[in-house]
Amino acid sequence: TQATRYLANALFGSHGLVILDGDDVALKKLLIPYVKKDIFEKVSYDKVIETVAKIESLPEKYGIQVNPREINYFYLKDGLRERIIEQERIYYIDNSEIRFSKEELVTELQKYPERFSPNVIARPLYQEVILPNLCYIGGGGEIAYWLELKTMFNAMQIPFPVLLLRNSALVITEKQRKKLQKMNLSVSDIFLKQSNFINKKIREISNIDIDFTPQKNLLEEQFKALYEIAEQTDKSFLGAVEAQETKQKKGLENLEKRLLRAQKRKLEDQVSRMTEIQNALFPGQSLQERNLNFSELYLELGENLIPDLMNSLQPLLLDFTVLEA
């Protein structure tokens, strides 16, 4: 939309930005041969289905990002945007009275290519037809989705770009940085799972050493000796020794957890403040970028945010970047 173009140009125009109008008739004309292959030969459907089947047959379980339709284009006209559906060699426009024979649809495509809009399967192909890329940079879900399209690109004889996982970043404001320093929290601390993070800090700030690792190690040594005695006397006792070892270890772990909970109650204020800062940086225990809208950071940090990110991010290193703004 015009608003999106304006906003993108306002933010990135000074850094060098090319914006193409995907609805431009001249660009849509370039898509005509690929629309024909999709609609009349089912190339996109057949190839993506083939890839999806291979993914589903793998021993590892990978989520399928998208499934193709037999026709992967919408028809646009007078505010209408609906799927093209084939039934008995007639091409219907869903939720309308519009229909075409094959010959009529070919004529429509040749005369009005702008009326054919690619769906989620065909859009990446369109992108690479009109503006070929050496590399496509995207998030984990996007990369997984593009991988489903490789054989389709091959069949269409369009070069498939190198896929690169984009950088992820955590932006820590000056106010948040001061809070971390005040609580003696390191950046690596806040990346821990919250329960592990709190337990680690409770052990550090507590005047009581609530870490039963030495006792657990001693217990293991004692049971090692008991296993040797049982082995030398009557092997039928090995099961009893193992059961007792499991019981003793579990008892120690439960006692350690209870003492930690008691200490957390005593240090409730510190726990609350540590939890609050971690939740601010990892909302919902997930990455900041998945929850915090860019505009919130931009309003707080201003025009320096984008240049600072551009200077800090190193796309080919695949590192997680922490930006102290």
pLDDT higher than threshold 90 for residue 253 = no
Residue 120 lies in a domain: yes
Is a pLDDT exceeding 80 seen at residue 212? no
More reliable by pLDDT, 266 or 118 = 118
Domain containing residue 318? 171-206+277-325
Owner of token pair 């957890």: 257
pLDDT at residue 207 tops 80: no
Q: What is the pLDDT of residue 180?
A: 95
- Whether 259 is in a domain gets the answer yes
| 11-20, 35-44, 127-136: range with lowest mean pLDDT | 11-20
Q: Does one domain contain both 93 and 27? A: yes
> For 1-26, what is the mean pLDDT?
92
- Which alpha helices (H) appear in 67-156, and where do they start and end? 102-111, 123-130, 140-147, 150-156
Residue 260 pLDDT greater than 80, yes or no: no
Tens digits of residue pLDDT in 297-317 = 999 899 999 999 999 999 998
- What does DSSP assign to residue 169? E
Same domain, 223 and 244: yes
Structure tokens given for 106: 């070919």
Q: Inform me whether the pLDDT recorded for 137 exceeds 90.
A: yes
Whether residues 119 and 224 fall in one domain: no
Q: Please answer whether residues 32 and 113 qualify as being in contact, where contact means their C-beta atoms are separated by less than 8 angstroms.
A: yes
Do 202 and 298 fall within a single domain? yes
Among 36-40, 59-63, 159-163, the least confident range = 59-63
pTM recorded for the entire structure: 0.76
Judgement on whether residues 65 and 21 belong to the same structural domain of the protein: yes
Question: Which whole number is the average pLDDT over 135-161?
Answer: 96
And the tokens for 291?
């929850």
Directed axis angle between helix 238-266 and helix 268-281, to 10°? Answer: 90
Q: Which two tokens stand for residue 298?
A: 């931009």
**What is the pLDDT averaged over residues 133-158?**
96
- Please compute the mean of the pLDDT values over residues 167-189 and round it to a whole number: 94
Tell me: do 138 and 191 sit in the same domain: no
Distance CA 118, CA 121 (A): 7
pLDDT of res. 241? 83
Q: 115: which 2 tokens?
A: 């009326």
What does the angle CA 183 – CA 186 – CA 187 come to, to the nearest 5 degrees?
125
97 and 241 fall within a common domain: no
pLDDT tens, position by position, 62-86? 889 999 999 999 999 999 999 999 9
Number of domains in the chain: 3
Residues 86 and 45 sit within 8 Å (Cβ to Cβ):
no
More confident residue, 146 or 243: 146
What is the tens place of the pLDDT at every residue in 79-117?
A: 999 999 999 999 999 999 999 999 999 999 999 999 999
Of the pLDDT bands very low, low, confident and very high (cuts 50, 70, 90), residue 233 is confident
Together in a domain, 106 and 230: no
pLDDT at 210: 67
Evaluate if residue 209 carries a pLDDT over 70: no
- What is the amino acid identity at position 83? R
Torsion, Cα of 219, 220, 223, 225 (10° steps): -110
Nearest Cα residue to 72 out of 50, 97, 43, 92? 43
